[in-house]
Amino acid sequence: MEGPVCPVPLQHEEKIVIGHGSGGRMTARLIANRFFPAFENDALAQGDDAAVVGMAGEGRLAVSTDAHVVTPLFFPGGDIGSLAVCGTVNDLAMVGAQPRWLTASFILEEGLPIAQLEAIVESMRTSALEAGVSIIAGDTKVTEHGKVDGMFISTAGVGWVPAGRDIRGSGAQPGDVVLLSGTLGDHGIAVLAARGEMDFEVELESDIAPLNTMVEGMLLASHSGVHVLRDPTRGGLATTLNEIAGQSGVTIRLNESAMPVRPAVNAACEMLGFDPLYVANEGKLTAIVAPGDVDSILAAMRSSPYGVDACVIGRVEEGHAQVIMDTAIGGTRIVDMLAGEMLPRIC
């Protein structure tokens, strides 16, 4: 299946469809109905990007895992290797962990040029050095030609959560302020353009980046504590904030005029009928913080090369678990989770 795909958001209880990989409502139902009941435990039930385990005291471990099936393997601003390292590092950072170690499993297709493998491995090495993590174990499998689109990479990450940190999706409180570290939709549109399937070209690079150093700066700048961190990847910012609203049992109110979107992303979304709120990012985060910490945390974000466009985009209110937006024309609309799949195979 090629190009943008948006299947009718039916239940699809008999077979897996592409929408089950969207990161949106269909993914959430699949996890809730098939995986949570089978693997039920307290760490899994938290529903965050990484599980924090161990007894409170000097600190705890954070563990995360991810799989990467992007096509094409190389795109402006990154490749499947940098995506694999940064995606796992960021999942750990979103629970306040200091990433330490990664593992990587490679599924390679027969016929993959060795030069491409070497380039991807070098990209992983460079990203790991920037993030300050070591890739300490791995595995390699090879499939027959046509069984894999060149390469799939699965990663696992382990980090350390220092004592006193408690960052989770259920931590948003009424009165909190919602921050965003930069522009929306860069990764999804850059990957789509690299496929060459649409009649448009954009000068745009993916925003892939390790965010753990910026997160450490934010936490040092915080006095009352950062309550929630999340990187809006599959399903985009809209889906991420709906997940947080559901975990915390609050209403999140957004300001449409405050949303930072590059002109190239806006133009591509208008042409394709997409909403930037639902397009994936790989080097952005949203933070929900106490109102007294907004200025200091924004300053810390803007001091990082990955947070120069950081801004306030909304607030947390009492109410039903939902996301609403004050529109630029003075109205209000519901911002729901992604229902189907707009851009498959982007991460």
Residues 150 and 250 in one domain: no
Full-model pTM: 0.91
Is the residue at 321 inside a domain? yes
- Ordered per-residue pLDDT tens for the chain, 347 residues: 444 544 445 566 778 787 777 677 787 788 778 887 888 888 888 888 899 998 767 899 999 999 999 999 999 999 999 999 999 999 999 999 999 999 999 999 999 999 999 999 999 999 999 999 999 999 999 999 999 999 999 999 999 999 989 999 999 999 999 999 999 999 999 999 999 877 777 889 999 999 999 999 999 999 888 999 999 999 999 999 999 999 999 999 999 999 999 999 999 999 989 999 999 999 999 999 999 999 999 999 999 999 999 999 999 999 999 999 999 999 999 999 877 777 788 88
Burial state string for 163-202 with b = 16 or more CB within 10 A and e = fewer than 16: eebebbbebbeeebbbbbbbbbbbbbbbbbbbbeeeeeeb
Question: What burial class does residue 258 get, using C-beta atoms within 10 Å of its C-beta: 0-12 exposed, 13-18 middle, 19+ buried?
Answer: middle
CA pair distance 232, 332, nearest whole angstrom: 22
In this predicted structure, what is the pLDDT of residue 10? 53
> Where does a domain end: 95, 130, 162?
162
Residues 145 and 179 in one domain: no
CATH number at residue 135: 3.30.1330.10
In this predicted structure, what is the pLDDT of residue 1? 40
> Where does a domain end: 162, 182, 202?
162
In this predicted structure, what is the pLDDT of residue 11? 61
Residues 147 and 232 in one domain: no
Q: Could you tell me how many residues make up the chain?
A: 347
Residues 6+ apart with CB under 8 A from 26: 9, 12, 17, 19, 20, 339, 340, 341
CA pair distance 260, 209, nearest whole angstrom: 18
In this predicted structure, what is the pLDDT of residue 8? 47
- The answer to whether the beta carbons of residues 140 and 108 sit under 8 Å apart is yes
In this predicted structure, what is the pLDDT of residue 56? 67
- Return the closest-CA partner of residue 237 out of 346, 336, 133: 336
Residues 181 and 58 in one domain: no
In this predicted structure, what is the pLDDT of residue 231? 97
CATH number at residue 229: 3.90.650.10
Structurally, the chain folds into a number of domains equal to: 2
Which range marks the domain in which residue 203 is found? 169-334
Residues 120 and 228 in one domain: no
